[in-house]
Amino acid sequence: MTTSRRAFLALHGAALGTSLLPGRLLAAVASRSPPMPRLDDWAKIRAQFALSPGYLHFAGFYVASHPAPVRAAIDAWRRAIDENPFLVVERGMFESEAENVQRKVREDVAAYLGGRQDEIALTPNTTTSLALVYHGLPLEAGDEVLVTTHDHVSHHESIRLSAERNGASVRKVALFDEAATATAEGIVTRVREAIRPATRVLGITWVHSSTGIRLPVRRIADALKEVNRQRSDSERVLLVVDGVHGLGAVEETVAELGCDYFCSGTHKWMFAPRGTGIAWARAEGWARLKPLIPSFSDRELFDAWTQDRPPRGPNNANRITPGGFVAFEHQWAMSAAFRMHQQMGRPRVAARIRELNGRCKDGLAALPRVKLHTPRDPSLSAGICCFEVEGLAPGDVVRALLARKIIASTSPYAVSYARLSAGIANTPEEVDRAVAGVRTLTSA
C-alpha cells in the first residue's frame, strides 16, 4: 500500500508529538511563548529592552535591540526547528494555508499597515525590497526614473543598477535647499516642476536619515495623481517610497500614504528580528512587476514547474517574495513585533517619539555653536535629529559623546551630520542628558 506524503508526515508527527500535527503547529509554538506583557506605561515598555544600562542609547534607529516579546518568539521558533527541523519547516511553509506561517506573519503586518495580507512581500531588508521593485518594473530605453538628491545609497544604487540593465535614464533633483527651513508646499512644488513627459517613476524617502526631515508623502502622491489624470496607464508616474524610518515611528499607515510601492526593513523602528523587511503594493502594482528571485511562497509556481507550463495568473506579492531557506525563526517571529506595536498603539508611540525628539531639537537649537538641520515642525520630522557643532567634524562629535557614554551616530552621506535619535526605550531625562553632553562640546 502506498502512503501519501501528508499521511506519512502525520504519522511521524504523531510519533514525535501531537503538537506537530497539521493544524497544531502555530498553537504549539505560541504555547511556548509567554503572553504579551502589559505595555500600559513607558517604564514597562522600556523594561522590554535588554539595553546596556551603562550607556545612553540614541542610535536605536540603526538596528534595534530585540524587545522581550520578540526575543521570546525567536527562541520559541528556534527550539521548535532545532527539535524537528523537517516537520516544522515543512508544516510552516508548504502544508496548508491555515498553518502557513508566512501568511500569519503577513496578516499581522497587514493589521498594522492598514492593508491586506496579500499586498505584502516578505524580504530581508529595505535594500532588497527596493531592488525587487526597481528591477521588477518594466522600464525601457526612453523612460526616466526621477529620484532626489537626499536618498540613501541603497535607493540610488537600486535605481542605477536597474537603469543600466533596461536602458532607462536617471535624474536627481533636490526637494529643498535646507532641510531646516523646508516647507511641505515648497517640496510638493519642486516635485511638480521636476516631472517630465518621460518620467515613469519617482523614488523618494519618507524620513531622511541624512537630515531627519519627513516628506509629506500623501501630498506628493496627490500631486502625482493629478499628473497621472492626463496620462495613459502605461505612461503614469509610479511612486516608490523608502519608508524604513517612518514605519513604526509616525502615525500614518502605509495604506494612507498613496504610494504605489512601499519598501522597508522591519528591524529598526518596528523592533522586528534582524534581517527582516517588507515590500507593499496593491494587486495592480504587483502585477506590473517581473519577479527577480525564485519564490517558495506561491503554490502556482511549483505546480507550473511540475507540469512544465508557464505560471497562470498575474504576478503577486507572494511571487515577489524571495525564496530559498532563510533564518525562519527570525522571519516567523516578525509577528511578535507587529503585535507589540498594535498593543502599544500607533498614535501613542508616534506621540512619544514626537515628544522626545521635539525636546531634543529644542535643546539642541538653544545651544551656542550648534546648528540644527532637522525641521522643528513635527509634521516635517520624526525620530532623527541631525545637527553640527561649529568647529567639530561630525565624527569627532560622536566620539566625544561616546566618551561620555552617549551613543550617537553620523549620517553616511557626502555631507554628514551628527545624529541623536530618541525612541520609546528612551526617557525625557535621558534626552536632557544627551543634550547636556552636546553642550559640553560647545564650550570646549
Q: pLDDT tens digits for 70-81? A: 999 999 999 999
Q: Which three-class secondary structure state does DSSP give residue 11?
A: helix
Confidence band for 105, pLDDT divided at 50, 70 and 90: very high
- Cα 222 to Cα 258: distance, rounded to the nearest angstrom: 7
- Tally of residues, the chain: 444
pLDDT on residue 392:
97
- Cα 223 to Cα 219: distance, rounded to the nearest angstrom: 6
Residue bearing cell 512644488: 189
Per CATH, which fold does 346-442 belong to? Aspartate Aminotransferase, domain 1 (3.90.1150)
pLDDT on residue 8:
34
In order of 96, 122, 412, the CA distances from 101 in angstroms are 10, 12, 36
Nearest to 141 by CA among 110, 163, 112: 163
Per CATH, which fold does 111-343 belong to? Aspartate Aminotransferase; domain 2 (3.40.640)
pLDDT above 50 for 18: no
Q: pLDDT tens digits for 213-243? A: 999 999 999 999 999 999 999 999 999 999 9
Contact 20, 84 (CB under 8 A): yes
pLDDT above 60 for 7: no
pLDDT on residue 23:
64
**Measured in whole angstroms, how far is the alpha carbon of residue 34 from the centre of its chain?**
26
Q: pLDDT tens digits for 130-184? A: 999 999 999 999 999 999 999 999 999 999 999 999 999 999 999 999 999 999 9
pLDDT on residue 11:
36
Q: How large a percentage of the chain has pLDDT more than 70?
A: 95
Domain borders along the chain are: 111-343, 346-442
Those residues with Cβ within 8 angstroms of residue 74's Cβ, 6 or more apart along the chain or in another chain: 66, 273, 329, 330, 333
pLDDT above 60 for 19: no
- Cα 340 to Cα 338: distance, rounded to the nearest angstrom: 5
Q: pLDDT tens digits for 289-347? A: 999 999 999 999 999 999 999 999 999 999 999 999 999 999 999 999 999 999 999 99
346-442 and 111-343 share a CATH fold: no
Those residues with Cβ within 8 angstroms of residue 440's Cβ, 6 or more apart along the chain or in another chain: 404
Strands 277-280 and 370-372 come out as unpaired
Q: pLDDT tens digits for 258-278? A: 999 999 999 999 999 999 999
123 phi and psi angles, rounded to 5 deg: -135, 175
Retrieve residue 376's grid coordinates: 522643528
Nearest to 418 by CA among 172, 136, 209, 151: 209
